A and B are shown apart, each in its own frame.
Chain A
Amino acid sequence: MMSLKKKMSAGEFAVMAEMHTPKGVDISEIVTNARRLKGRVDAVVIPDMDNGIMHMSALAGGVLMKQQGLEAMIHVYGRDRNRMALQGDLLAAHVLGISNLLVVRGEEMINGDHRDARIVDDLDEVGILNMIRTLQGGLDLAGFELKGAPEFTAGCAIAPVVDDAQLAAEIESAKKKVAAGAGFVVAPAVFDMAYYAKMIEKLKPLGVPVVATVFLLKNVGMARYMAINDPGARVSEDLITRIRKAPDREAECVRMAGEMAAALKKTAQGIKIVTLGWEHRLPAILESAGL
């Protein structure tokens, strides 16, 4: 199978799926779900302490993927680690076979499950991308030479946006990240395909591959919650009705995600499928999308 890096640089459509590490040491579920994806996705994206919830680190999750014969992409962010820890973990990631990084902004500590924890925030996303480039150049951030430099494909994320003004601001911020070395951008989940296509077009001048997010709505409640609390996702009343009226709601949700994935194949250079705990449904989504 062609590596993610090669696929993206060749302009081919890349399929990624997100998978969460456990809160604990029971890895049976993540390993089982990973096995089902073998040969079906180009990389598995492992968030780190996603939504500010303490989980097994993404580094370990990435290694688990490698052990199952899957390419891994791990999240990197500065909320919990200073530049020393970040650099040490990235050197470790390289030697453990993880070559893809997604630099993200961590959730606010106050919104997570360890609200009393101290925040690090030594480096922001641009700082982390610069750090990655420095390490790849054979030096650490203090200017000392590395005994063997790591190699990574690093990308950045576009935050959810509610309107064009916010999108313009995000694009400005993404320009800095691309200048700092982001080799691809991941667009936030948008359910209005016409708007999403326009957004992706606006991101293309950044000059790097645009990966779209396919988000699995799991039920009516979740769809309604997103419609209210995440206006940028543009979850319409029609979409909610479609789930509500479906004879098999779960199957309908999977079908909807599949349709999104198929539609995005025409507009984006890749997709990242997010299922938030329904990783066992990833094969069904891929099947439904014809991927």
Chain B
Amino acid sequence: MITAEQKPMQEIINCIAPYDRILLVGCNECVTVCSAGGRKEVGLLASALQLHFLKQGKTLDIKEVTLERQCDPEYVEELVNYMDQVDAVVSMACGCGVQTIAARYREKAVYPAVNTKFMGASERQGIWAERCQGCGDCVLGLTGGICPIARCSKRLMNGPCGGSTKGKCEISPDVDCAWQLIWDRMKALGIEKRYEEVMEAKDWRTSRDGGPRKIVREDLAS
């Protein structure tokens, strides 16, 4: 999923300070799962903002909506009836959601209330970790199901480096060495031989380096 964290309160306050009527929009997808911008967080943020502005002597009118999916124009359309009742929109979705709203409602300023972080997975309750950088040419089949691009600090394709100690990365004892994990997994699978194969310099065209990306499915596109 796409993970996110709420922005510092002061930053959100600064963005909306000039406005009296705000539409606060959550998303039922990834940001709900990582507890950053779902219905619950929308309610909490709305209360916190109202309280803050009340202390300043201003009654902030906040309308709360949580869409099924903010990155889908079909759901974003549901906001149309709110737009003449608000001065600005604050989105608690990832950057994809913010931009879908901005593209549809051009006359309204849209502010993000969360920082979109990474594509990650839940390690345990309350902990998410980066797992994928969307390079567009998956190498997990060659690396025992562990991604060196997302998980090796140096993005080495032929690791580990000299900074790998007792399975940990030199940048922090809390960070696993991805290449240690890859090696352990290859051994467990009985495919250590594969480790000896030199991985070629990666072709980054399929990643962001090839320019902003788009998927066009002719069979589905209308």
Q: B204: CB under 8 A from chain A?
A: yes
Complex CA–CA separation, A259 to B222 (angstroms)? 55
Contact yes or no, B211 A108, CB < 8 A? yes
Contact yes or no, A118 B204, CB < 8 A? yes
Contact yes or no, B211 A117, CB < 8 A? no
Mask for A111-140, Cβ within 8 A of B = 1, else 0?
A: 000011111000000000000000000000
Q: B210: CB under 8 A from chain A?
A: yes
Contact yes or no, A115 B205, CB < 8 A? yes
Q: B202: CB under 8 A from chain A?
A: yes
Whole-angstrom distance between the Cβ of B212 and the nearest chain A Cβ: 11
Q: B203: CB under 8 A from chain A?
A: yes
Contact yes or no, B210 A110, CB < 8 A? yes
Contact residues in B for A108 (Cβ distance below 8 Å):
211
Q: B198: CB under 8 A from chain A?
A: no
Contact yes or no, A116 B204, CB < 8 A? yes
- Give the dominant DSSP class at A's interface: loop
Complex CA–CA separation, A116 to B157 (angstroms)? 15
Q: B209: CB under 8 A from chain A?
A: yes
Contact yes or no, B205 A116, CB < 8 A? yes
Most buried by A among B202, B204, B207: B204
Closest B-chain residue to A119, C-beta based?
B209
Mask for A90-118, Cβ within 8 A of B = 1, else 0?
A: 00000000000000000011100001111
A110 in complex: contacting residue of B201, B202, B211, CB < 8 Å: B211
Contact yes or no, B204 A117, CB < 8 A? yes
Whole-angstrom distance between the Cβ of B77 and the nearest chain A Cβ: 32
Complex CA–CA separation, A116 to B203 (angstroms)? 4
Contact residues in B for A118 (Cβ distance below 8 Å):
202, 204, 207, 209
Complex CA–CA separation, A224 to B209 (angstroms)? 31
Complex CA–CA separation, A45 to B204 (angstroms)? 31
Contact yes or no, A110 B205, CB < 8 A? yes
Which residues 223-250 in A have Cβ within 8 Å of B in the complex? none
Complex CA–CA separation, A109 to B206 (angstroms)? 12
Which residues 186-222 in B have Cβ within 8 Å of A in the complex? 201-205, 207-211
Complex CA–CA separation, A119 to B205 (angstroms)? 10
Complex CA–CA separation, A109 to B209 (angstroms)? 7
Closest A-chain residue to B204, C-beta based?
A118
Most buried by B among A108, A109, A115, A118: A118
Complex CA–CA separation, A222 to B205 (angstroms)? 29
Contact residues in A for B204 (Cβ distance below 8 Å):
116-119
Whole-angstrom distance between the Cβ of B206 and the nearest chain A Cβ: 9
Contact yes or no, A116 B211, CB < 8 A? no
Closest A-chain residue to B208, C-beta based?
A119
Complex CA–CA separation, A238 to B167 (angstroms)? 71
Whole-angstrom distance between the Cβ of A114 and the nearest chain B Cβ: 10
Closest B-chain residue to A108, C-beta based?
B211
Contact residues in B for A116 (Cβ distance below 8 Å):
201-205
Complex CA–CA separation, A106 to B205 (angstroms)? 17
Complex CA–CA separation, A241 to B104 (angstroms)? 49
Complex CA–CA separation, A120 to B202 (angstroms)? 15
Whole-angstrom distance between the Cβ of A49 and the nearest chain B Cβ: 15
Contact residues in A for B207 (Cβ distance below 8 Å):
118
Complex CA–CA separation, A117 to B209 (angstroms)? 8
Complex CA–CA separation, A108 to B204 (angstroms)? 13
Closest A-chain residue to B211, C-beta based?
A110
Complex CA–CA separation, A115 to B210 (angstroms)? 8
Whole-angstrom distance between the Cβ of A118 and the nearest chain B Cβ: 4
Contact residues in B for A115 (Cβ distance below 8 Å):
205, 210
Contact residues in B for A109 (Cβ distance below 8 Å):
209-210
A selection of 16 A-B contacts at a CB cut-off of 8 Å is A108-B211, A109-B209, A110-B205, A110-B209, A110-B210, A110-B211, A115-B205, A115-B210, A116-B202, A116-B204, A118-B202, A118-B204, A118-B207, A118-B209, A119-B208, A119-B209
Told that A109-B210, A110-B211 touch, could you supply 12 new A-B pairs with CB distance under 8 A? A108-B211, A109-B209, A110-B205, A115-B210, A116-B201, A116-B202, A116-B203, A117-B204, A117-B209, A119-B204, A119-B208, A119-B209
Please give me the 9 A-B residue pairs with the lowest Cβ-Cβ distance, nearest first: A116-B203, A118-B204, A119-B209, A118-B209, A116-B205, A110-B210, A115-B205, A110-B211, A116-B204
